[in-house]
Amino acid sequence: MPYKEQKIEKLYYSIGEVANMFGVNTSLIRFWEKHFDIIKPKKNKKGNRLFTKADINNFKLIYHLVKEQRLTLEGAQKKLAEDKATTINKFEAIESLKRIREMLVEIEETL
């Protein structure tokens, strides 16, 4: 059986890595961390933020609400406070549909 390289996920990501994932400045990551209590990075002895996969998933949700749905910061906070579970479910459904669309486009291109 041929070796298949597997993507190894890290336990922690630096603020720069998180900013690169979303194509934003580190200052925006710090800003969102300050305003959304669902972001809880650990800090090392130097005080550097260390974000977990759970933090990354929460950033995806915040990014979706603020950048894609164009909610205000207050609107996104309210949406998460009122019904976080429904907001997450809707976000996950949208993400699944995006992945399906990408797969269909790839299939179409091979035809």
Identify whether 2 is part of a domain: no
Q: Are 88 and 61 in contact (CB under 8 A)?
A: yes
Whether 96 is covered by a domain: the verdict is yes
CA–CA separation, 84 vs 57, rounded Å? Answer: 13
Total domains, the chain: 1
pTM for the model stands at 0.75
Q: Return the SS3 of 13.
A: strand
Identify the domain containing residue 92 by its residue range: 15-110
pLDDT tens, residue by residue, 53-80:
999 999 999 999 999 999 999 999 999 9
Domain membership of residue 92 (yes or no) is yes
List the CATH number of the domain containing 92: 1.10.1660.10
d(CA 64, CA 96): 14
Q: How far is CA 14 from CA 23, 49, 53, 59, in A?
A: 14, 6, 11, 13
Q: Give per-residue pLDDT as tens, 1-29.
A: 443 443 557 899 999 999 999 999 999 99
